Amino acid sequence: MNKRSVTIWLVRDTCRVEDNPSLNLALETAGQSGTACFALACLEPRRWEHYQFGLARTGSAWRSFRANALIQLRTELLQHDISLWIGAGDPSALVGQIREQFTISAIITDLPLATEETEENRRLQNLGVKVLTTQSDELFEATNIHSALERLPCSFTQFRKTIEKDGSIVPALPVKFSGLGSPVAQIWLDPPELHEARNIDKHRYAQPGWQQYLESGALSTYKKTRNALEGANMSSRLSAWLAHGCLSVRRAWHDTLEYEENYGANESTYWLRFELLWREFFRWYSRHIGSALFTKTSKNDVCKVNPSESVLFESWCSGNTGVDIIDAAMRELTQTGWLSNRGRQLVASHLIYEYGLDWRLGAAWFESQLVDFDVASNWGNWAYIAGVGADPRGGRIFDLESQAERYDPKKTYRDRWLGLSPKKSEH
């Protein structure tokens, strides 16, 4: 009996239908080859099981968000007659199972962001399967920012100015999805890991949350409030939606331009795009330096921790350093999977410069905890704080006492996360 031929869209970090070049290319490829098309999402062992420095690769907040995002993606795809299969395992192992039932014409996926995705693609190609990649989650096409990419590894400022001085470089408009597939019956049921993670917590879907922020008018004061440690609409909270690909970064960019047309432009409305350019920089920087993203250090490339350092690291992770602003932030992180921009910089500064620990331990802990973990931004930012990244100015050391007074003058944030009553905090 002849096997049915299929084209597979391998879902990585683009859990959406709108403005998704990988999905669009998969349907186009399927149409040209006369094959059926379906989506495949893998709960890869590297994220759901494997460990680094003894730490889990993902936390419950990330797994819950991703599980809910995949279920929502399946609902949206089915409206276009496209099936989404979800399996637990390495992509090459799952594709091997699929090949027992189908002939795979091609696999379409995102352009690799870091070394692990590149290695996964190599293993798929070793199976004799054609793998096509395309940019799916960047602001700019590589060909349009060739002059900026040529400068890598450069500083963010050099990267940004190269792009901004050329007024013709703008992100493409988001593309609305209008494709249509043909459902393909699954050959396995969803893995239990998916439903276990989904039941940890529920999340709001990307578009309503982002739209609510825009409608609040908070974008007009974003630059002034983005470093606040807490508070409604102090920051955009876009990072999780972007990290899981629930919202297109191009959509976010053009929404800010539309906001400016309706409510006026100022430094704050520009500053959100400035932050999106930081994200863009780290994505291309990660691709440029490859494995050095995880090994570059001011000392050596081997991350070793002696017993005394292990005690310090554990106190930092658990929020028991004795420095109230650090302990409050670390407890918020472990309880919610979230930490403000300023909080992230403070705890990183403490680990590196107060405790003298290898910055990669902190990056790994963040990876294990953050709901918005993004490999390029997380590891790139930690290297930046440590002074071993592309920025020539060196590391960033914060005066924690003055930072606490500036951003938490009434100790509201510290009292909340340390469980202190106002009376006790006065002593």
- pLDDT above 70 covers a percentage of the chain that reads 94
The answer on 82 and 14 residing in a single domain is: yes
pLDDT tens-digit map of 79-113: 999 999 999 999 999 999 999 999 999 999 999 99
What confidence score (pLDDT) does residue 210 get?
86
Query: What is the pLDDT averaged over residues 347-358?
Result: 96
Q: 273 CB contacts (<8 Å, ≥6 apart)? A: 253, 256
Q: How far is residue 128's CA from residue 130's CA, in Å, rounded to a whole number?
A: 7
Say whether both 42 and 120 belong to one domain.
yes
pTM (predicted TM-score)? 0.92
Give 258: exposed, middle or buried? Use CB within 10 Å, 0-12, 13-18, 19+: exposed
CATH number, domain containing residue 376: 1.10.579.10
Give the helix ranges, DSSP H, for 150-266.
Answer: 156-164, 192-198, 206-216, 222-225, 239-243, 249-263
Give 114's Cβ-side CA count (13 Å radius).
18
- Give the chain's domain count: 3
- For residues 263-267, average pLDDT: 97
Output the pLDDT for position 278: 96
* Residue 268 is assigned to a structural domain of this protein: yes
Q: Is position 311 within any domain? A: yes
Q: Name the residue range of residue 344's domain.
A: 293-425
Q: What is the mean pLDDT of residues 232-254?
A: 93
Report the pLDDT value the prediction gives residue 295, as an integer from 0 to 100: 86
Which two three-digit tokens encode residue 386? 């440590």
Q: What is the mean pLDDT of residues 3-8?
A: 93
Torsion sign across C-alpha atoms 80, 20, 65, 194 = positive
Question: Rounded mean pLDDT of the chain?
Answer: 90
Do 14 and 85 sit in the same domain of this protein?
A: yes
Q: Check pLDDT > 70 for residue 424.
A: no
pLDDT for 360-407, tens place per residue? 999 999 999 999 999 999 999 999 999 887 776 667 889 999 999 999
Residue 29 inside a domain? The answer is: yes
Is 332 in contact with 369 (CB distance < 8 Å)? no
The pLDDT of residue 298: 60
Angle at 113 between CA 112 and CA 116, to 5 degrees: 75
Claim to verify: residue 12 and residue 73 sit in the same structural domain: yes
